Amino acid sequence: MKTKVFIALLCFSLIHCKPSEEEPTLSLEDYRIEEGFDLQLLASEPLLKSPVAMDFDNGGRIWVCEMPGFMSNIEGKDEDKPSGTIRILEDSDGDGIMDRSKVFLDSLVMPRALALVYGGLLYAEPPNLWFVDIENDKPVNPVLVDSLYAPEGNPEYQSNGLVLNIDNWIYNARLPYRYQRKNGKWHREPTSMRGQWGITHDNFGRLYYNNNARQILGDYALPNRLIRNRYLNPKYGINRLLTDDQRVYPLHAASVNRGYAPGVLDKEGVLQEVTAAAGPLIYRGGSFPAEYDQNAFVCVPEANLIKRNILTFHGDSISARQAWQGKEFLAATDEGFRPVSLSNGPDGSLYVVDMHIGVIQHYAFLSPYLKEKALKKELDTLTGYGRILKIEKTGSESSKTPNFGELDGPELALLLRHKNGWIRDRAQHYLIFKDTSREALSDVKRLALDTEHPVTQIHALYTLKGWDALTFETLKTIAKEGSTDVVAHAIVLMEDFVSQQYSAAAQAIFQDILDQGDRSLDYYLASTLGTWATVSEKKFMPLIDKLYHTYNENRILGEALLSGMGATSDALLTRWEENPDFKEGDLQKRMLESLERKKEDKPNSIFTETAITMDTRTKGAKLYRQICSVCHGINGEGADGVAPPLMNSDWVANSPERLGLIILHGLSGPIHVNGERYEFNQAMPGLNGNPNLSDRDISDITTYISNAFSRTPNWIKPEKIKELRNQKPENGGEYTEKELLRYSE
């Protein structure tokens, strides 16, 4: 399993001894940035190509994950070639522009994420998640963290992200697991499935993400607060759409995949709503104007722009609204501008990873409409490029990145007060994993109790937790004196002390908090009281009663309450069964559902899934290429005398069932396609007799053909394929055009 890493090391030694040196000189005249901000080009080809993710090291150098195999041609060929790279970009002359580039790892197949953590590099190369130590900018001591991190499938849907959160766990998009290394050992835990491409967190530690058609999603609660009842499937507090406003305001009529569909474009051909949102970021840099703090920025690569959303926190929920109507934070008329991820930087700036590619849509989902547009505009020739851009407030002064590796414990502790969230996160991380940092224990304890700096308190609390040095007394003090956000974390962290020993003190603390009537604190009380009730129902059930009576119509609070009641749901059900407000209500219904799932041993799917399966169209595309493309062509263009065209064929567009019959049982010519007669020398054989192809496989092939070669996409279920297997042609051989036409009548 370590072979690939050692091959990469060998390639580094033999091929990449000399770093390339060249500063970018490209123009940004086609880009429009919000007034008061400057847009700067930091790096471009030949220093890098096809970047998809980035991170900073202690010296402020940029580490880039490159994926040149993605859509390097219109057919999407060669994405399985080892062309991917992880590269280090440097500014050797101190002018702020990258001018040196060297390869850290190469010969990678579609690498997609990276994070500089634990003094090394964590990176994803499907299907694996690897960790390597770094010595003299070379990878050593490779460790396979997870062999099923990103199983084979569409690269747009494979796991990615690798964001280190305030709770010391590393989270991902499209993966129901989180990771952490402690005492030299890697740990993996279930967590909720989140988003599609990119993930980020706010100062509190809540997670945000998105998917193609929904620009910003998020969790109302801290990670894993709503899945502690293994038999509950939360639906009110996680994976929430934060705004219904998906409107975009591009500067031009960019080419988009489903532009032919009604309502996608306006009368000028301009995209109206997001169709490929990606790479969200909560800005925490501390250098933008105050109103930009914790705004949610979102990449919209199909429209060549970046959105800005303003978040509002409601205690038990979050909402977002677009900062403006009619314009965007950053937009371009450059159709190669493909922002795919964003980063907070050590200098407080916002960094943009621009993949800079002509066709951003994967071949398995590429519509005939976009393919035609791309070829006409020659967008398919725009490959092998890449940009790193920096957005800073006009007039900002550059700041030097602290070299965390050289700082002692007290110096690192002081950085927990820094205005830049990137600096605070990195300082917390180094305090935990550096052996010498425990000398700062007294400093961190003092910061944890400093109510003048609540964000610093949260970092300090999780630093102490990372050291296993957090005490109940510290949390008790914070619960009495801290601000709302800090007290919420204290409530969560107290669960490490659930026992008879602390139950009386916890009951008194929770009663005081409950008397405040703060919805945000009550949300976290709801999520924890059931757990404390396992050691004393007498002490904590009355608090649960009060919470329920206060919020009996609040489904968000009810779900949090049920999440904490995994071991005490039966007792609570008995306690409330005569309550008229409880009967037939949402909480009773969901409680009964979770208890029934418990009896049947059907936990939340995140506790049972071992891998993410390949999406149907990607699998169908692979099977099509293996079986069908030899005759019908990679683009469905057909071949004279061999096979008729599939692209824009009326046989493909009108009936997935009829298409399924042809694939299963074959076709004997001649046949008319779009009014033109096609003759072919031999009958097309059907796949019905292939024992290696399941109903699901045939369904996937049919679905892919319908989506890839038609403007009216259709799907067909495996169950229907099973029925069609027995619907054989009258002549016992292949179907004819005449018989198929009767079928569709």
- pLDDT at residue 330, as a whole number: 98
Q: Please, which contacts does 713-717 make with residues 24 or more away whose CB atoms are closer than 8 Å?
A: 713/367, 714/653, 714/655, 714/656, 715/616, 715/656, 716/656, 716/657, 716/659, 716/660
Taking 60 as the threshold, does the pLDDT of residue 113 lie above it? yes
Q: Tens digit of pLDDT for each residue in 686-726?
A: 888 777 789 999 999 888 888 888 877 788 899 999 999 99
Rounded CA-CA distance 568/591 in Å is 11
Question: Residue 52: which residues within 8 A CB-CB, separation 6 or more?
Answer: 65, 66, 67, 70, 112, 113, 340, 341, 353, 355
Share of the chain above pLDDT 70, in %: 95
| Residue found by looking up tokens 């965390």 in the block | 404
Q: How confident is the model at residue 252 (pLDDT cuts 50, 70, 90)?
A: very high
The pLDDT of 272-298, averaged and rounded, is: 97
343-357, 450-464, 497-511, 632-646: least confidently modelled range: 632-646
**DSSP string covering 116-171:** EETTEEEEEETTEEEEEEEETTEEEEEEEEETTSS-SS-TTTS-EEEEEPTTS-EE
Average pLDDT score over residue span 595-616: 79
Name the band, by pLDDT with cuts 50, 70 and 90, for residue 16: very low
Q: Tell me what the pLDDT averaged over the chain comes to.
A: 90
pLDDT given at position 627: 79
* Average confidence (pLDDT) over 677-689: 77
Least confident of 36-45, 90-99, 365-374: 365-374
Q: In a 3-state reduction of DSSP, which class is residue 652?
A: helix
**pLDDT above 50: residue 7:** no
What's the pLDDT at 692? Answer: 79
Residues 172-192 have pLDDT tens digits of 999 999 999 999 999 999 999
- For residue 442, count other CB atoms closer than 10 A to its CB: 11
Higher pLDDT, 53 or 610: 53
DSSP letters along 255-290, please?
Answer: --TTTTSTTTB-TTS-B-B-SS-EEEEE---S-S-G
Q: Which residue has the higher pLDDT, 692 or 224?
A: 224
Tell me, what's the pLDDT at 611? Answer: 56
Report yes or no on whether pTM surpasses 0.85. Answer: yes
pLDDT greater at residue 594 or residue 438 = 594
Model pLDDT for residues 421-443, shown as the tens digit of each residue: 999 999 999 999 987 777 999 99
Choice between 463 and 572, residue whose per-residue pLDDT is larger: 463
- Do 646 and 705 meet the contact criterion of CB atoms below 8 Å apart? yes
Name the pLDDT band for 343 (thresholds 50, 70, 90).
very high
SS3 assignment, position 31: strand
Q: What is the dihedral of CA 294, 297, 298, 301, to 10 degrees?
A: -160
Here the tokens at position 242 are 């934060």
Residue 70: what pLDDT? Answer: 95
Residue 569's pLDDT band (cuts 50, 70, 90) = confident
Return the pLDDT at 8: 36
pLDDT digit string, tens, across residues 134-156: 999 999 999 999 998 988 777 88
Is residue 629 predicted with pLDDT exceeding 80?
Answer: no
| Average pLDDT score over residue span 310-334 | 97
* Rounded Cα distance, 403 and 407, in Å: 7
Residue 40 gets which letter from DSSP? E
Q: Six-digit token pair at 248?
A: 């975009």
More confident position, 266 or 566 = 266
Sign, Cα dihedral of 152, 156, 157, 161: positive
> Which pLDDT band, with edges at 50, 70 and 90, does 730 fall under?
confident
pLDDT band at 10 (very low <50, low <70, confident <90, very high): very low
**How distant is the alpha carbon of residue 246 from its chain centre?**
18
- pLDDT reported for residue 475: 98
Cβ-proximal residues to 237 (8 Å cutoff; 6+ apart), any chain: 219, 220, 221, 225, 226, 556, 559, 560
